[in-house]
A and B are shown apart, each in its own frame.
Chain A
């Protein structure tokens, strides 16, 4: 027994207690000299356990001490982004570090090699990247100008081709060349026509035409041709352009005007030379040369980029990626340093640290002091502060999704009982109660298994399911419990499994009448006897069973919730809450619904001879109030006398609890407050003196307090009373409606069972009973089978899973957590390379960024005033 106890004790100490409450925090002051700030912070980053408070929040961004470094990091990051973009363009692969610690090892190795201060590495990389970026942009510019030249040459060639075409056609007096009839009408006799052509954007054709028309007063002709340029993959030319040809009567004045207009629209204007053919040839040749030059430049760029992605040292990490991570790390250091306050040659900061990690932090700072021989790094605990510490719940891969479910509602207050501790089991279990089905449960279970074992592969391939990997244990448990409940309901996708011999047997009499007999002393080993399937009362039976089960489970969970309130009150030493909230609440819950549960169980355990006279529970409970505790014929469960006595006691208890919940607490609070004022006044003078004589508290703390200074809340009796009134009403009515709310366990399970039964009935059972010819039957079954598979997947495995999930979520957020969970904390957010850099790792990149949002459960409405979206309580103390 002792060994067993020790085992449990160990488990509790090692894992469970970490989850039950958030970790104990201490406020520490950290003072480091400016010269060694980088080294110290670099060390702290690897420890991931200091949550810094921003002491410069009031000042301007640019007045913070390390803003210039952050700017430099930003600038370098921008440059790296550009270089990476170039790599992307040329499809050059870069390899990342496997995980953050790999990267950090490499960094420290590099720093040791260099034998210089670690902070100077930034300067080096900055310069290097600046140089690389400059080279690349120059190259790109060069490339661009060459591309433009090439484009110009190509355009020239095309325009020349077109002009030649027009001219030759015009010479042959061919009319339909795009130049319409008006051209001929315009040109009586032998007036010499001249043309100007060029290239403009297609969008501007109309405007161009109009302007030319106005400038030449109609004495010209403009025609456009689409510029059909094949987009050359080597040179990446694009854009929709048109060639224009302006025909006009020769004359210097007109010409200069048209040229002016042409130049307005673009610089690509071409004079048509006389020897078109020759010029064309020359242009073509030139274009060819330019193109080969372009290709050459491109190769040069590729070469430089390849150098950039070479591995660093003996690792496999690409240089550019390494530098990107490094810059991110530096930026994190300086951002954190910016939260410290400069005092002369020191920086002083305030931070939260889990008490457990404090030693290791001060130890490593000590070591650093010895190694680098620097002065004055102190790390001291501050007591007597009035700041609320952050909540830090350590999670592992298993508990993370459950903690996420709870934290989405709200971060636990500091040291408050963490509902996630219970949610790890109750969440999948309640899901299972709703989703109970052996087959479907097994499917979910196998998805969970798949995610667990195929984790690495899924993450590597960045598959669609990668985002589910985080929730793999949730799936596993959900599947497990769904299967378990399926066994209890004896439901296999709408069929009953006949594994064990049924305790019933049917006998057919001579007159075709069937009688069912129960085998004596027979007990079906687990779940519901499959024989119920043949009964026309099957649905009634199952409904009654599941309904009662839901209420029992609900009352159990709520009772646990109320007990947790006791645990919280004891922990925070709130005697008032124990006496005037916990005790009456517990009595109220148990006297009403605990009693009801007892009736249900009592009824289950009693064998009623005359089945028409079985008592029913609901009228019994209603009569507890309306009938004044009298027990009627149909309500007798525990025996008339006993039950009447119980009724009387419970009724009195229930009635008493309400004023107990409502009145004493605000009145006592008010008295205490008055006493407090009295005492304050009595002690006012001496206390003031003592404040002055007190030594000055830590400078950082003082500064921070002045930043967050808030007015102390004034106690007001009316407010306290109204608050208590609401709490009481909420609890009393809430208990009833919450219990009713647990009926969703039954409702969803019913819906699931009915749906799967209908699906299987109409796809298999009906077809088989048609007794069609075998081949025909086969065809139909083939068709219906596909249908069944599709519907099962779509409706039962997607929609129903989601729905059950949502309702489970709601039951936890509203019905369970509103009994005790305040959720007024804020997250512990330590300065950590792990968290800063993890967004760059492969694993993280596989997860699509997923946002948490509050869900609206439509029936939250039945919680009246207490609930808004997702069951968050509106009425909280301001």
Chain B
């Protein structure tokens, strides 16, 4: 990785370095300044030593979040806290975006499409389950906020085809739905828009989201390879490859306990649908991964890659059911992935003149919010301070130089 990112520069890259600041110098400077706002170990220690939510808030007010917490009545429950912090992140991103020009501007848009997909799928699902629309809007992720979100209300009492035709098509995420529906219609007997309703019955919220995300990631990758050049492209490609590898490993890992998916037919047909054709593991380890139906096989399949091997080294076997809770020892595969991802994103800050640090910034901040909310939960539950859960937070930039 180091060699790939810090390799020698051809003239093209040099020219990008020379001209980058003309358009994005200020924006990049901003995002680099924002690196200062990340909570460090000491801040987290202060948060950890809090015994109730009021203390927790006091400790959090010593950080960059002070401003947004000021007008909140105390104590702030964890759920509300998450919304506030995410809203701040969204506002900061909006601010960055308002300074950016093309293609960075489009890139930030595209970055946030992932969250928009989450929100859209969530709202549609909620409407189907007759949840109050206002409540749904409140519970969306501020990162994936878009102006037309409330038009989704028109989806009430409509079938999927209609929803697509009237509402989704005009949303920023419409293109993904378009591709998604096209994709699922291929397998349908009747390739007509009217058959969507029947086909969609097979797709739960999770499945839809996963497929949409897959399409989105491919689009994002395409954007990075076509619109970016030089370091922006290199680093973004690298990050996306890593992310899609992680997604792939996670999907396979999660499917291991599932009987239907770990049988060979399920593996070939069903599981593969959700898996990207992107990343370091494709196509080199594709066959091995497709065959993997136990944790050991999965481990063997990713063994050539140090990072992934490390990730899977200590995880619990999903086929042996074990509940994760606040008190459980050991980390889940998610925790390992967050850790490795945080390292990767932090590395993106190492180089100058590129757009990937905006992506890294967003992801790292998201991780930070996840940390804070996790700690807030622990504080709320009055968890004993010696429980392993307190250690389950990822502090970025801490051990960037210990990376092998």
CB-defined interface of B126-167 with A at 8 Å, one 1/0 digit per residue? 000000000000000000000110110110100000000111
Q: A60-B59, A61-B62, A62-B50 are in contact. Are A215 and B151 (CB under 8 A)?
A: no
- Least CB distance from B225 to A in Å reads 32
Q: Is B5 an interface residue (CB 8 A)?
A: no
- Least CB distance from B149 to A in Å reads 10
Sampled A-B contacts (7; CB under 8 Å): A203-B147, A207-B170, A257-B154, A260-B153, A260-B154, A264-B150, A264-B153
Q: A210-B170, A211-B167, A214-B166 are in contact. Are A61 and B150 (CB under 8 A)?
A: no
Within 159-189 of B, Cβ neighbours of A (below 8 Å) are at 165-167, 169-170
CB-defined interface of A181-214 with B at 8 Å, one 1/0 digit per residue? 0000000000000000000000110010011001
Q: Is B109 an interface residue (CB 8 A)?
A: no
Report which of A61, A210, A261 forms a contact with B58, defined as CB distance below 8 A.
A61
The reply to whether A60 and B46 form a contact with Cβ atoms under 8 Å apart is yes
From DSSP, what is the main secondary structure of chain A's interface residues? Answer: helix
Report which of B62, B148, B166 forms a contact with A207, defined as CB distance below 8 A.
B148
Q: Is B49 an interface residue (CB 8 A)?
A: yes
The reply to whether B50 and A211 form a contact with Cβ atoms under 8 Å apart is no
The reply to whether A71 and B166 form a contact with Cβ atoms under 8 Å apart is no
Q: Is B55 an interface residue (CB 8 A)?
A: yes
The reply to whether B151 and A264 form a contact with Cβ atoms under 8 Å apart is yes
Determine which residue in A60, A78, A210, A263 has the highest number of CB atoms from chain B within 10 A of its CB, and name it: A60
The reply to whether A214 and B165 form a contact with Cβ atoms under 8 Å apart is yes
- Least CB distance from B60 to A in Å reads 11
The reply to whether A211 and B154 form a contact with Cβ atoms under 8 Å apart is yes
Closest chain B residue to A208, Cβ basis = B151
Residues in A neighbouring B58, C-beta threshold 8 A: 61-62, 67, 71
Closest chain A residue to B55, Cβ basis = A62
- Least CB distance from A594 to B in Å reads 52
Within 385-438 of A, Cβ neighbours of B (below 8 Å) are at none
A264 to B151, CA, bound (A): 6
- Least CB distance from B204 to A in Å reads 26
Report which of A67, A71, A264 forms a contact with B154, defined as CB distance below 8 A.
A264
Residues in A neighbouring B166, C-beta threshold 8 A: 211, 214-215
Q: Is A580 an interface residue (CB 8 A)?
A: no
A33 to B137, CA, bound (A): 55
CB-defined interface of A31-48 with B at 8 Å, one 1/0 digit per residue? 000000000000000000
- Least CB distance from A3 to B in Å reads 62
The reply to whether B148 and A60 form a contact with Cβ atoms under 8 Å apart is no
CB-defined interface of B31-50 with A at 8 Å, one 1/0 digit per residue? 00000000000000010011
A67 to B166, CA, bound (A): 56
- Least CB distance from B117 to A in Å reads 19
Residues in B neighbouring A203, C-beta threshold 8 A: 147
Residues in A neighbouring B156, C-beta threshold 8 A: 260
Residues in A neighbouring B150, C-beta threshold 8 A: 264-265
- Given A214-B169, A265-B151, 15 more A-B residue pairs with CB atoms under 8 Å apart are A60-B55, A60-B59, A61-B46, A61-B58, A62-B50, A62-B54, A62-B58, A62-B59, A78-B70, A210-B170, A214-B166, A214-B170, A261-B151, A263-B153, A264-B153
Residues in B neighbouring A71, C-beta threshold 8 A: 58
Residues in A neighbouring B54, C-beta threshold 8 A: 62
Residues in A neighbouring B165, C-beta threshold 8 A: 214
Closest chain B residue to A264, Cβ basis = B153
Within 41-97 of B, Cβ neighbours of A (below 8 Å) are at 46, 49-50, 54-55, 58-59, 62, 70
- Least CB distance from A66 to B in Å reads 13
Residues in B neighbouring A62, C-beta threshold 8 A: 50, 54-55, 58-59
A207 to B169, CA, bound (A): 12
- Least CB distance from B42 to A in Å reads 10
- Least CB distance from A69 to B in Å reads 13
A214 to B148, CA, bound (A): 15
Closest chain B residue to A207, Cβ basis = B148
Closest chain A residue to B170, Cβ basis = A210
Within 306-352 of A, Cβ neighbours of B (below 8 Å) are at none
Residues in B neighbouring A211, C-beta threshold 8 A: 151, 154, 166-167, 170
Residues in A neighbouring B167, C-beta threshold 8 A: 211, 214
Residues in A neighbouring B50, C-beta threshold 8 A: 60, 62
Report which of A60, A207, A210, A261 forms a contact with B147, defined as CB distance below 8 A.
A207
A71 to B74, CA, bound (A): 11
Q: A61-B62, A71-B58, A207-B147 are in contact. Are A215 and B46 (CB under 8 A)?
A: no
A203 to B167, CA, bound (A): 18
CB-defined interface of A55-74 with B at 8 Å, one 1/0 digit per residue? 00000111100010001000
A529 to B49, CA, bound (A): 81
A680 to B5, CA, bound (A): 55
Residues in B neighbouring A214, C-beta threshold 8 A: 165-167, 169-170
Residues in B neighbouring A78, C-beta threshold 8 A: 70
Residues in B neighbouring A265, C-beta threshold 8 A: 150-151
A71 to B169, CA, bound (A): 51
Residues in A neighbouring B151, C-beta threshold 8 A: 207, 211, 261, 264-265
> Which 9 pairs from chain A and chain B are nearest by CB?
A264-B153, A214-B166, A62-B55, A62-B58, A60-B49, A60-B46, A261-B154, A215-B166, A264-B150
Residues in A neighbouring B55, C-beta threshold 8 A: 60, 62
- Least CB distance from A388 to B in Å reads 26
A263 to B46, CA, bound (A): 47
Residues in B neighbouring A264, C-beta threshold 8 A: 150-151, 153-154
Residues in A neighbouring B46, C-beta threshold 8 A: 60-61
Residues in A neighbouring B148, C-beta threshold 8 A: 207
A260 to B70, CA, bound (A): 38
A261 to B152, CA, bound (A): 9
A264 to B58, CA, bound (A): 39
Determine which residue in A62, A210, A261, A263 has the highest number of CB atoms from chain B within 10 A of its CB, and name it: A62
A183 to B165, CA, bound (A): 24
- Least CB distance from A702 to B in Å reads 23
- Least CB distance from A269 to B in Å reads 13
Within 239-265 of A, Cβ neighbours of B (below 8 Å) are at 257, 260-261, 263-265
- Least CB distance from B338 to A in Å reads 26
A741 to B50, CA, bound (A): 59
Determine which residue in A67, A203, A211 has the highest number of CB atoms from chain B within 10 A of its CB, and name it: A211
Determine which residue in A257, A263, A264 has the highest number of CB atoms from chain B within 10 A of its CB, and name it: A264
- Least CB distance from A266 to B in Å reads 9
- Least CB distance from B179 to A in Å reads 20
A203 to B147, CA, bound (A): 10
Closest chain A residue to B157, Cβ basis = A260
- Least CB distance from B36 to A in Å reads 20
CB-defined interface of A551-585 with B at 8 Å, one 1/0 digit per residue? 00000000000000000000000000000000000
Within 319-361 of B, Cβ neighbours of A (below 8 Å) are at none
- Least CB distance from A593 to B in Å reads 48
A853 to B167, CA, bound (A): 57
- Least CB distance from A679 to B in Å reads 41
A763 to B325, CA, bound (A): 89
- Least CB distance from A216 to B in Å reads 10
A264 to B136, CA, bound (A): 14
Residues in A neighbouring B153, C-beta threshold 8 A: 260, 263-264
- Least CB distance from B164 to A in Å reads 10
- Least CB distance from B154 to A in Å reads 5
Residues in A neighbouring B170, C-beta threshold 8 A: 207, 210-211, 214
A261 to B153, CA, bound (A): 8
A63 to B58, CA, bound (A): 10
CB-defined interface of B84-122 with A at 8 Å, one 1/0 digit per residue? 000000000000000000000000000000000000000
- Least CB distance from B3 to A in Å reads 36
Report which of B49, B70, B147, B154 forms a contact with A215, defined as CB distance below 8 A.
B154
Closest chain A residue to B57, Cβ basis = A62
Residues in A neighbouring B59, C-beta threshold 8 A: 60-62
CB-defined interface of A468-480 with B at 8 Å, one 1/0 digit per residue? 0000000000000
Closest chain B residue to A206, Cβ basis = B170
Residues in B neighbouring A210, C-beta threshold 8 A: 170
Within 505-546 of A, Cβ neighbours of B (below 8 Å) are at none
